[in-house]
């Protein structure tokens, strides 16, 4: 049966699993000095600071709440 076949495969270790050493396209594409020079700054995210994102989300949710209130009031 399928169940017995699956058990046989697991017992005989036919499926070896994933590679022991993982590889990354990013690490393969750049030389090691690029990663040494990189500075991770948590307050700067893809060119936008947390303050800019915070202000954008405030406006976005204010707009959503306003639209919801208008829909409830005027249908």
**Number of domain units in the chain:** 1
User: 58 lies in which domain range?
Assistant: 2-74
59-73 core/surface letters (b: 16 or more CB in 10 A; e: else)? eeeeeeeeeeeeeee
Over the stretch 54-65, which tens digit does the pLDDT of each residue have?
Answer: 888 899 999 999
Give the span between the Cα atoms of 29 and 21, in whole angstroms.
Answer: 17
Contacts of 18 (CB under 8 A, 6+ apart): none
Over the stretch 27-48, which tens digit does the pLDDT of each residue have?
Answer: 777 777 877 777 777 766 666 6
């Amino acid at each position: 049966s399928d169940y017995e076949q699956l058990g046989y495969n697991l017992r005989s270790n036919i499926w070896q699993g994933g590679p022991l050493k993982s590889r990354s396209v990013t690490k393969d594409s750049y030389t090691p000095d690029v990663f040494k020079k990189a500075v991770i700054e948590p307050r700067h995210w893809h060119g936008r600071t947390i303050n800019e994102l915070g202000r954008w989300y405030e406006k976005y949710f204010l707009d959503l709440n306003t639209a919801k209130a208008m829909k409830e009031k005027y249908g």
